Amino acid sequence: MTDPVALSFAETDLEQIPAQAGRVAVVVDPEGSLSAVARRVNRLTKGALARLVEADSFDKRKAGDIVTLAMPQGLAAEALDVVLLPRRADSALLRKTGAKLAKLLGEEGLLLLTANLNAPAELALGLKLRAYDYDAQKTEKAKPKGAVTVMCAKPPADIAALDAVVQGVLFTRDLVNAPANVLTTTAFADELLALKELGVDVEVLDEDKLEELGMGALLCVGQGSDSPSKVVVMQWNGGNAGDAPLALVGKGVVFDTGGISLKPAAGMEDMTMDMGGAGTVSGVMKTLALRKAQANVVGLVGLVENMPSGNAVRPGDVVKSMKGDLVEVINTDAEGRLVLCDVMWYTQERFQPKAMIDLATLTGACIIALGHENAAVFSNSDPLCNAFLKAAEAESEGAWRLPMGQAYDDQLKSRIADLKNVGGRPAGSITAAQYLKRFVKEETPWIHLDIAGVASVKTETATAPAGATGWGVMALNRLIADGFEG
């Protein structure tokens, strides 16, 4: 998997600045005042910084801008990047600015002088998140990026936690970016088995076990594929023994043709990302293990491939879920909810979780409603939902709550079975959530996250290149840290 760019923190040492190779970046207040560190750089460069901040054009600059001075006099560095940030910049601005620095990072590395910046770790986090290239399928690899040294007045105490978050996000991105012939259901399960090395208990349930458990809804999705369906159970037991865990459940459709309800050819190659929910759950579990989270969390992912064949499930078939409900399959391209409903029921039966959150690239309707800026949030618990929305906002991961209700549930009525797997075109994301809600026990606080629009994108975001974003790893990690640890 992709390794994060090497980054370390150190106390400010002005004597190291002149000989630093590669790039040097220095933080300057947008108002033009120079810190002691910036004044030192100004003297080394024969007044270059003073001339910059005194120029008329400087007034047009704004917080987050970076002005590059090439081949600066007095420095061995090839470039001096002047980073405009107020001392108390918020985390969103700091991360975006760090991401801009990442795009300038070359093979010879960077010395980043944050002066009296209040939260240098947030700047570093943005840099590490954006310094990511997925080149696993290229013969010519991207040139390695040099190491970054962040100099500040007081280095952050918990650097390991920052790196744990980055590694979780990059793990998710690598999984979601991987093509389906590489990340098969078996290969995905093997990637998760490797988390045992970090202290995660990992168990793989094969088709015979799933059949024994009665997971007819999940199994029907993968029955047209040669790749075996699996459920992977990951347990991180960092909290008090006996405490009920938080449960995370992810949809892991490694490729989705739509089955017999075949998707159009145009754009079908993007359906390698239809395991994005499982990818996010996997990234969260890796982060929790790396930072030794003091919480009990279980992550379960249903891994299937949805293919058309002579053995594929057909529109009009009726399948039996683990709960016992009989489901009329109207559209085989609404397969994710069939996977999730069985895994969610199994999760509750086995673990009796204190709360459950499922994630899935579930509906195109979600993209129509919210675009690529926000995931759709549905919940039966205001306290849990509000806590998640707060965590997502703090991490700048867009999320928006949508309504639920009986009228939407009524759209799922079936003439021949207990319910249908789709409710028609109106409110498609909501009826999908209503379907899943039928498999949530009354006593279980629950959130459904439809991440179809945010898991993978065509253009770069503030902290990720085009492709997989790793959305949700940071928000869920913060939710756990704020509400489930201790």
Please give the positions annotated as active site: 263, 337
Q: Is the dihedral of CA 66, 68, 72, 78 positive or negative?
A: positive
At residue 7, what is the residue type?
Answer: L
- How far is 22 from 134, CA to CA, in rounded Å? 23
Backbone angles phi, psi at 113, to 5 degrees: -100, 105
Backbone angles phi, psi at 66, to 5 degrees: -130, 125
- How far is 24 from 41, CA to CA, in rounded Å? 10
Name the one residue in this structure whose structure tokens are 């867009």.
398
Q: Is the dihedral of CA 282, 283, 284, 290 positive or negative?
A: positive
Cα-based distances in Å from 236 to 134, 201, 291, 333, 484: 28, 7, 11, 33, 13
Residue 473: closest CA among 293, 346, 304: 293
Name the one residue in this structure whose structure tokens are 């793990």.
171
Containing 125, the helix (H) or strand (E) segment is helix 120-130
Proportion of the chain in helix, strand, coil states, percent, rounded to 5: 35, 20, 45
Residue 351: closest CA among 251, 203, 192, 482: 203
- How far is 253 from 305, CA to CA, in rounded Å? 5
- How far is 360 from 376, CA to CA, in rounded Å? 10
Residue 474: closest CA among 441, 482, 176: 482
Angle, in degrees to the nearest 10, between helices 159-177 and 473-483: 140
- How far is 136 from 303, CA to CA, in rounded Å? 22
Task: Return the CA Rg of the chain.
Answer: 24
At residue 94, what is the residue type?
Answer: L
Backbone angles phi, psi at 239, to 5 degrees: -100, -160
